[in-house]
Amino acid sequence: MKIKLTEARYAYLFLIPTFLVIIIFAFFPITSTFWWSVHELKDKILWTGMPFVGFENYAWAFTNSQVWGSLGYTLYFVALSVTLEFWIGIGMALAMFHTFKLKGVLRAIVIVPWAVPAIIQASMWRWMFHPNVGIISDILVKLGVISAPLNFLGASLLAMHSVILADVWKTSSFMAILLFAGLAAIPQDIYDSAKVDGARGWFRFRHITLPMMLPIILVALLFRTMDAFRVFDLVYGLTGGGPGTTTEVLSTFSYKYYFSYHNFGKGSALAIVTFLILVAISLFYIRSLQKRLKFK
Amino acid sequence: MVSLSYRQKRLLSQTIMYAVAAIIMIYCLFPIAWIFITSIKPPGAEFHIPIEYIPSKVSLDNYIEIFVEHKFHYYLLNSLVVASATTILVLAIGSLSAYAIARLRFKFRISSLLTILVVGMMPSIVMILPIFLIIRELGLMNTWLGLIITHAVFSLPITVWLLASYFAELPFDLEDAAKIDGYTPSSIYRKIIMPLSVPGLFSAGILAFIASWGEFMFALTLTHTIQARTALVLITTLPGAYHLKWGMINAGVILTLIPIIVIVLVFQKWVMRGLTAGAVKY
Amino acid sequence: MVEVRLEKVTKTFGKVIAVDNASLTFEDKKLTTVVGPSGCGKTTLLRMVAGLETPTQGSVYIGDKLVNEVPPWDRNVAMVFQSYALYPHMSVFNNIAFPLKARKRPREEIKKRVTDTAELLEVSELLDRKPRELSGGQMQRIALGRAIVRQPDVFLMDEPLSNLDAKLRVYMRAEIKKLQRLLGVTTIYVTHDQAEAMTIGDTLVVMNDGKICCIGHPDSVYSKPKDTFVATFIGSPAMNLLEGNLESDKGLFVTESLKYKLPNSMTRVTKEKGASKLILGIRPEDIIVENFKANGFVKTEVYMIEQLGRELLLSLKIGQHIIKAIAPTDIKLEIGGVAWMKFDETKLHVFDGKTDGLIV
């Protein structure tokens, strides 16, 4: 006998594989990480005998200056990187939109940095920042900006900004793609009408283009903020958190606690902190998303 | 102030725009071009001072070395297998869920979509250790399968989201007509939704492929040897031991980049559509 | 005095010629309608006056000034778009105020002029709303308001009423006409709807295929169409056209299935012009139909009867020809039955069969 299913039952059936995967490989892991974060869990102590320590690891995290330093750099990284890539991205999007004959070529080229994997990007920039034969130093010397090659990744303040510069190269390309789509979605009639109404250049951009793009700008910024917060590959590959711990971001710092120090309890606490900050951002994101959700 | 005629003004603004366009092209392509130039210098020449912007001697020795010394083709194969299999897996289970969310009526539609989306927003770092242990328990350490499953987890949310927005665009009349003709949701999915959604599947598939090809944290943690290690992990581990072999490393970078840059350029339309589908329209 | 003058204006997009060597003058303080089928170049013509397109060749003058190179924001023209193009993120007040703000008018003046305009258009209570909260008719009024608030030299209207339902469209036609009289601003009004063009325009310009076919008062364009295109495009239902030859000695117009004696005066003029292949044109309302045989009437078969409300539209069959005619509703006819018809000889048009031009 054939079993008759209702539409809802079909839906649940179709959702089973996805939910199986995300429960085993996402929700269960997060719960475990949280569980470990309230235990003392170091390589010396056997996993079976891990003592419960409550929020001791968190207390450690909030009093440790290196953790604060890493949180501080993560926030600085997010703020500066997202700001820079937004303005560069919008400039690129406008150029893509207004150079009619080059539109196709430019679009193809702008998308390239986005496709470069972050870890490869790290390797590329590491070579370009090379202390002796780095091309960036060489060009700056030739232009007379600096007198001798700089060790971009060796001095803390310089390294902090070099990482951001390398990040912006890839992410501004993503920004440009999103913002270009936003620009292209504004009806031509609206532009034409604004022109006839007497709005020129900057006035038109400020009062028509920018407000009309606001929804997509918001999405792009939130999207990038979350992504920048999770940054791992670039920092790992470019500086490894150094010099010292000046370019350490939350992700690379907890990775170190896991796989270098084998202090799984503290590493987990750090990971959970990162996670909670992201949850806060994503709740904000989902709320703004829910308002526009098309599926009724 | 010199006042310009309208024609001059327009010419000037056009000139500025094209100048900006030229700067953008250099900005986007220069790093890759420089890596390529370094990679075709003879080994050792990359450290010559003054730096040669145009190599005086072109050689493929760096490429030969990475293939001969490090068997780079095996690593590329690992990357290719993992990325392709991840793409197929993610499309298979993602499209089913997306179909349910976009087209079927049930109580927890929005909440299940949001649950899936939340996974996409989680940082990898919070899952790395438990997944490492799970994969080890399952005996999948240093295997293709272990990496494929993990990559699928991270590509699923965006895939479901993209496909759900794609499916939602298809006219509901098609489905109603099929229902009246006596088709069940599973046959509607196979016979109507799937064939109509090829472009959407294509977009989502390309994004999943690129994401898997470029994934680093799990590939680094879950694979150790030539058996399963992906190309970009090898490149990253090279400088430690071979810090004087930047020519070879850059050859590896170029080899790893070629497939995805080709994909992105050839399927530009689909990539753009995939990237912006979630953001421009909901 | 602001008249808009085009001299030998051509606009091409790649290989497509949108406007082909157009010369005409839009008179000061008059409402000129430009009508033609879609793709005839009428919107491109309008956009060139607005400055949104630059002519490939030729000159556009507003007043006495050559404006080819002047961008739209420096021409004092206002435009109403088919889609209304209201700025979705601004309130109605700010939408109407936008052209004034762009010109950096003082705040007080903006407030006063927007309020006055809103009163004139009876939309004062809508000023705080966003465009998405408005009905189609209201959006239309706001778009008009945005155009008139700045007292432009020229109004440009690109199918402003085509997104409204039929009833509202007829109402707004009269409103626009009234408004234009009141303000006395030179207006160019583009539409594909010939009835709208006829009723609203002081002058009617008919375009086809990028070319200007004719310019004139709506009445004269209707009663003396320049060629067969204008004859069929203007007027609904369209003029009947019959192709045939003139047997000049007898003054007979002959087609495959019809012989018709032309009035002598017409035969004479046609002979003078030396045309033998002819197209005979007669409007449906200029055909008299009876259900009995009378003197000078031709026998036809009733092919189709359509109710138009206050009259009937008949399709009458003579041999190969189907002729449309208007008849009063009280006439007794049946589909497949017989009807008798007669052309009103004073309303006949004769076109040259080779050039499509009007002879008489």
Query: What are chain C's domains?
Result: 4-233 (3.40.50.300), 240-352 (2.40.50.140)
Q: Do B105 and A8 touch (CB under 8 A)?
A: yes
- The tally of CA atoms less than 13 A away on the side-chain side of residue A61 is 23
Domain residue limits, chain A: 65-290
pLDDT of residue B282: 39
pLDDT of residue A15: 92
| A residues 216..235 contacting B (CB < 8 A) | 216, 219-220, 223, 226, 229-230, 232-233
In which band, very low, low, confident or very high, does the pLDDT at C250 lie, cut at 50, 70 and 90? confident
Q: Do C70 and B5 touch (CB under 8 A)?
A: no
C-alpha distance from residue A186 to each of A179, B220, C86 (Å): 11, 43, 12
In which band, very low, low, confident or very high, does the pLDDT at C268 lie, cut at 50, 70 and 90? confident
* CATH class for the region spanning B64-280: mainly alpha
Q: CA geometry: angle at C279 spanning C273 and C283, to 5°?
A: 120
Structure tokens at C253: 């117009």
pLDDT of residue A97: 86
Comparing CB atoms, the residue among A33, A117, A138 nearest residue B129 is A33
pLDDT of residue A158: 92
Which chain B residues are Cβ-neighbours of C74 within 8 angstroms? Answer: 6
Rounded Cα–Cα distance for residues C304 and C313 (Å): 8
Residues 6+ apart with CB under 8 A from C292: C340
pLDDT of residue B52: 86
Which chain B residues are Cβ-neighbours of C69 within 8 angstroms? Answer: 5-7, 10
pLDDT of residue B202: 92
- C81 touching chain A per CB within 8 A: yes
Whole-number percent of chain A with pLDDT over 90? 45
Residue of chain C minimizing CA distance to A205 = C102
Note the pLDDT tens digit of each residue in C133-175. Answer: 999 889 999 999 999 898 899 999 999 888 888 888 888 888 8
Q: Three-class SS of residue C317?
A: strand
In which band, very low, low, confident or very high, does the pLDDT at A293 lie, cut at 50, 70 and 90? low
- A278 touching chain B per CB within 8 A: yes
pLDDT tens digits in sequence order for chain B, 282 residues long: 456 777 788 888 888 888 888 999 999 999 999 999 999 999 888 888 888 888 888 999 999 999 998 999 999 999 999 999 999 999 999 999 999 998 888 888 888 988 888 888 888 999 998 999 899 999 999 999 999 999 999 999 999 999 998 888 888 888 888 888 888 888 888 888 888 899 999 999 999 999 999 999 999 999 988 999 999 999 988 876 666 789 999 999 999 999 999 999 999 888 888 888 766 543
Q: Give pTM, 2 decimals.
A: 0.85
Q: Do C71 and A197 touch (CB under 8 A)?
A: no
Answer with the residue of higher pLDDT: A284 or C227: C227
Chain C interface disruption, residue of B3, B4, B5, B6, most C CBs within 10 A = B6
Cβ–Cβ < 8 Å for C243, C279 = yes
Which chain A residues are Cβ-neighbours of B127 within 8 angstroms? Answer: 25-26, 29-30, 33
pLDDT of residue B186: 84
Q: Do C71 and B5 touch (CB under 8 A)?
A: no
| B residues 6..45 contacting C (CB < 8 A) | 6-7, 10
pLDDT of residue A36: 87
- B5 touching chain C per CB within 8 A: yes
pLDDT of residue B33: 96
Separation in Å, CA of A78 to nearest CA in chain B: 14
Rounded Cα–Cα distance for residues C85 and A255 (Å): 53
SS3 annotation, chain A = CCCCCCHHHHHHHHHHHHHHHHHHHHHHHHHHHHHHHCECCECCCCHHHCCECCCHHHHHHHHCHHHHHHHHHHHHHHHHHHHHHHHHHHHHHHHHHHCCCCHHHHHHHHHHHHHCCHHHHHHHHHHHCCCCCCHHHHHHHHCCCCCCCCCCCCCHHHHHHHHHHHHHHHHHHHHHHHHHHHHHCCCHHHHHHHHHCCCCHHHHHHHHHHHHHHHHHHHHHHHHHHHHHCCCHHHHHHCCCCCCCCCCCHHHHHHHHHHCCCEHHHHHHHHHHHHHHHHHHHHHHHHHHHCCCCCC
Q: Do B184 and A232 touch (CB under 8 A)?
A: no
Is A296's pLDDT higher than 50? no
Q: Do B5 and C69 touch (CB under 8 A)?
A: yes
Is A43's pLDDT higher than 80? no
Note the pLDDT tens digit of each residue in A197-220. Answer: 988 888 999 999 988 888 888 888
Beta pairing partners, C249: none
pLDDT of residue B1: 44
- A202 touching chain C per CB within 8 A: no
Into which CATH architecture does domain A65-290 fall?
Answer: Orthogonal Bundle (1.10)
Count of C-beta atoms within a 10 Å radius of residue A84: 17
Round the average pLDDT of chain A to a whole number and report it: 87
The C-alpha R_g of chain A, in whole angstroms, comes to 24
Q: Do A199 and C98 touch (CB under 8 A)?
A: yes
pLDDT of residue A55: 85
Comparing CB atoms, the residue among A187, A195, A211 nearest residue C73 is A195
pLDDT of residue A3: 58
Note the pLDDT tens digit of each residue in B106-157. Answer: 888 888 988 888 888 888 999 998 999 899 999 999 999 999 999 999 999 9
Is A240's pLDDT higher than 60? yes
Comparing CB atoms, the residue among A122, A133, A254 nearest residue B51 is A133
Is C44's pLDDT higher than 70? yes
Is C96's pLDDT higher than 90? yes
pLDDT of residue B243: 65
- The tally of CA atoms less than 13 A away on the side-chain side of residue C159 is 17
Whole-number percent of chain A with pLDDT over 70? 93
Q: Do A197 and C52 touch (CB under 8 A)?
A: no
Amino acid (1-letter code) at residue B8: Q
In which band, very low, low, confident or very high, does the pLDDT at A39 lie, cut at 50, 70 and 90? confident
Among A47-56, A274-283, C167-176, the minimum mean pLDDT is found in A47-56
| B residues 84..123 contacting A (CB < 8 A) | 92-94, 96-97, 99-102, 104-107, 109-110, 112-119, 121-123
Q: Using omega within 30 degrees of 0 as the cis cutoff, is the peptide bond preceding B50 cis?
A: yes
pLDDT of residue C1: 63
- C66 touching chain B per CB within 8 A: no
- A160 touching chain B per CB within 8 A: no
Q: Do B279 and A109 touch (CB under 8 A)?
A: no
Separation in Å, CA of A212 to nearest CA in chain C: 7
Among A97-101, B53-57, C86-90, the minimum mean pLDDT is found in A97-101
Which chain A residues are Cβ-neighbours of C71 within 8 angstroms? Answer: 195, 200
- C71 touching chain B per CB within 8 A: yes
